[in-house]
C-alpha cells in the first residue's frame, strides 16, 4: 500500500514465514555464494526469492525449487555489462534504472500476496539500501569478499590509506598484519573506476540493519571483533559453499546448480591416480594469463614430473606451447570441471590457484594445500592470508614486480616443496586443522550457524534461543 506517496510493505503475522528478497550482483562469483546462503535460509524456514538482472538471469540454470526467481533491470537487458560502452557507463546506468525496477518488483510481489520483509543485497549495490529504507523494510548488506579485503576498502573510504603507495610504505590497519603495497587489491594501482566501485560499498553500510559476510568468525576473529564495535549487527554466515563439503545438512546440495559451466571429464582420470599425487591448476573463469606465463606454468608442470590436472579455458588453449601435449605425458588439460569434486578427490596433492575468495573458501573447507599465484582484484590480499596468517600455502614468487611472471623454476620449486618437502608437511597439517575449524563453524551449534539462526529469528519476530 502507499502512505504519503511512498510504498510501504504490509507486515506479515509472526505465524507466517518471513520473506527475503536476495538480490545478487550479476556475476557468477557473486551469484554462487548468495544462492548458497539462500539455501541455508530456506532450510531454517524462510521464504526466499532470488533476484538478479534480466541480462544475467538468462545464464542461470537449475535454480533450486525451494526458492523463486525474479529480476530487475540494469539498463542493458540484452547483454548486461558486455554491451555497455564502459564499466562506468554500466554502473551509472544500473544505479539509475535498478532502483525503480526494484520498487516495481516489490510492489508486484506485495500485490500477489508475497510482501517482502527483508532485502539481502550484495554490498556493491549500495542503492538497494536506499530502496529498503524508502519502503520500510529491513536491509541486510552481504559482503562477498575476505574480511581483510573489506577492511582495506573500508579504511580507504575513511581516508586512512593514501595513494599513490610506494614500495617502501607499510599499511597498518586495526587487527590486521602489516601489509605492503603488493598485498593490496590490484585496483589500487590500475583501475580507479573499479576501486571507487568497491570502496563505495562502505559509503552507507553503517545504515544497514545487518551486515553479513561470507566467512567464519574463527578465520577472521580479530577483524570480526573490531568490526562488530563499528557495526553491532555484523555477523559471519559462511562459508557459503555447497553443504556437500561441509556437513551435508541440506539434502542434495552437491554443487552450484546455477553454474554456467557444466562439464566433468576428469574424475575417472583422477580415480586411476595414487592418493596425493596430482597437482590441480586453475585460475578461475575471468582473468586471462598471457602466453609467456602459460608457457612457464606448462614447463614447470612437466619438469616437476608429477601428475597434473590443468583447467585451461577454451579461449586460452591457443596460448599453450605448441608441443606441450606431446612432451607432457603425465597431465590432463580440460576446459572446465566441477572444482568441488576435484578438490575433494583423494588424488589431489595441492591446488595452484589465483586465490579468488570463492575458490579459497572451497580449498580451506576441504583442507587442500595451496600454491598461490594471485592475478588481480582481491587475490593478492587473500594470498597474504593463505601464506602468512593461516599458513596453509606457499606463494610462487614473481621474477620481478614489473613483469609479474612466475618462472618455471620458481613454480617447480613450490610444487616439489609442497609434495615432498618438510614445509609441505606442515602446511598439510595446518590445512587439516583449518578444515576442522570451518566444519565446526558451519555445522549445527557452530558460530556461523548460530549467526544465521539469530538473523532468521529476528525476521520471524522471535528471540534467538
Q: What amino acid positions are annotated as catalytic residues?
A: 30, 122
Q: Which of 10, 12, 46 is nearest to 455 (CA)?
A: 46
Q: Which of 118, 121, 120 is nearest to 136 (CA)?
A: 118
Distance from C-alpha of 374 to C-alpha of 356, rounded to nearest angstrom: 8
Q: Which of 247, 366, 336 is nearest to 28 (CA)?
A: 336
Residues in the chain: 465
Rounded alpha-carbon distances, angstroms, from residue 288 to 175, 208, 294, 394, 429: 34, 36, 10, 22, 32
Q: Is there a contact between 16 and 428 (Cβ–Cβ < 8 Å)?
A: no
CA-based Rg of the chain, rounded to a whole angstrom?
A: 22
Q: Which of 113, 124, 96 is nearest to 33 (CA)?
A: 124
Amino acid at each position: 500500500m502507499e502512505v504519503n506517496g511512498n510504498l510501504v510493505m504490509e507486515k506479515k503475522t509472526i505465524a507466517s514465514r518471513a520473506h527475503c528478497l536476495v538480490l545478487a550482483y550479476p556475476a557468477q562469483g557473486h551469484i554462487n555464494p548468495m544462492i548458497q546462503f539462500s539455501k541455508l535460509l530456506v532450510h531454517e524456514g524462510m521464504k526466499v526469492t532470488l533476484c538478479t538482472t534480466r541480462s544475467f538471469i538468462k545464464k542461470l540454470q537449475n535454480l533450486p525449487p525451494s526458492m523463486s526467481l525474479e529480476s530487475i533491470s540494469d539498463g542493458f537487458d540484452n547483454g548486461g555489462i558486455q554491451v555497455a560502452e564502459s564499466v562506468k557507463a554500466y554502473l551509472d546506468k544500473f544505479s539509475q534504472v535498478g532502483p525503480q525496477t526494484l520498487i516495481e518488483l516489490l510492489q508486484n510481489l506485495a500485490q500477489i500476496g508475497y510482501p517482502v520483509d527483508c532485502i539481502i543485497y550484495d554490498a556493491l549495490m549500495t542503492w538497494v539500501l536506499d530502496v529498503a529504507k524508502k519502503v520500510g523494510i529491513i536491509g541486510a548488506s552481504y559482503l562477498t569478499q575476505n574480511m581483510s579485503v573489506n577492511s582495506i576498502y573500508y579504511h580507504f573510504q575513511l581516508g586512512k590509506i593514501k595513494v599513490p603507495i610506494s614500495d617502501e610504505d607499510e599499511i597498518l590497519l586495526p587487527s590486521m598484519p602489516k601489509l605492503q603495497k603488493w598485498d593490496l587489491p590490484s585496483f589500487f594501482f590500475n583501475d580507479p573506476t573499479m576501486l571507487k566501485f568497491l570502496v563505495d560499498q562502505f559509503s552507507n553500510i553503517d545504515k544497514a540493519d545487518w551486515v553479513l559476510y561470507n566467512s567464519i568468525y574463527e578465520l577472521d576473529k580479530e577483524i570480526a571483533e573490531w568490526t562488530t564495535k563499528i557495526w553491532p549487527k555484523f555477523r559471519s554466515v559462511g562459508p557459503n559453499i555447497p553443504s556437500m563439503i561441509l556437513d551435508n545438512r541440506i539434502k542434495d546440495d552437491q554443487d552450484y546448480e546455477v553454474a554456467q559451466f557444466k562439464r566433468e571429464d576428469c574424475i575417472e582420470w583422477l580415480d586411476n591416480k595414487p592418493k596425493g599425487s596430482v597437482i590441480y591448476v586453475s585460475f578461475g573463469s575471468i582473468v586471462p594469463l598471457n602466453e609467456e606465463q602459460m608457457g612457464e606454468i606448462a614447463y614447470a608442470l612437466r619438469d616437476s614430473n608429477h601428475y597434473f590436472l590443468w583447467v585451461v579455458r577454451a579461449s586460452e588453449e591457443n596460448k599453450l606451447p605448441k608441443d606441450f601435449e606431446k612432451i607432457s605425458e603425465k597431465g590432463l588439460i580440460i576446459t572446465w570441471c566441477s572444482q568441488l569434486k576435484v578438490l575433494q578427490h583423494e588424488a589431489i596433492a595441492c591446488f595452484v590457484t589465483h586465490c579468488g575468495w570463492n575458490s579459497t573458501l572451497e580449498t580451506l573447507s576441504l583442507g587442500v594445500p595451496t600454491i598461490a599465484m594471485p592475478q588481480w582484484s582481491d587475490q593478492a590480499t587473500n594470498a597474504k592470508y593463505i601464506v602468512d596468517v593461516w599458513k596453509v600455502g606457499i606463494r610462487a614468487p614473481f621474477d620481478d614486480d614489473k613483469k609479474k611472471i612466475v618462472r618455471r623454476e620458481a613454480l617447480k620449486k613450490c610444487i616439489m616443496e609442497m609434495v615432498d618437502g618438510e614445509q609441505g608437511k606442515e602446511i598439510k597439517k595446518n590445512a587439516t586443522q583449518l578444515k576442522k575449524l570451518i566444519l565446526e563453524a558451519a555445522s549445527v551449534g557452530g558460530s556461523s550457524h548460530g549467526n544465521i539462526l539469530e538473523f532468521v529469528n529476528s525476521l520471524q519476530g522471535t528471540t534467538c534461543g
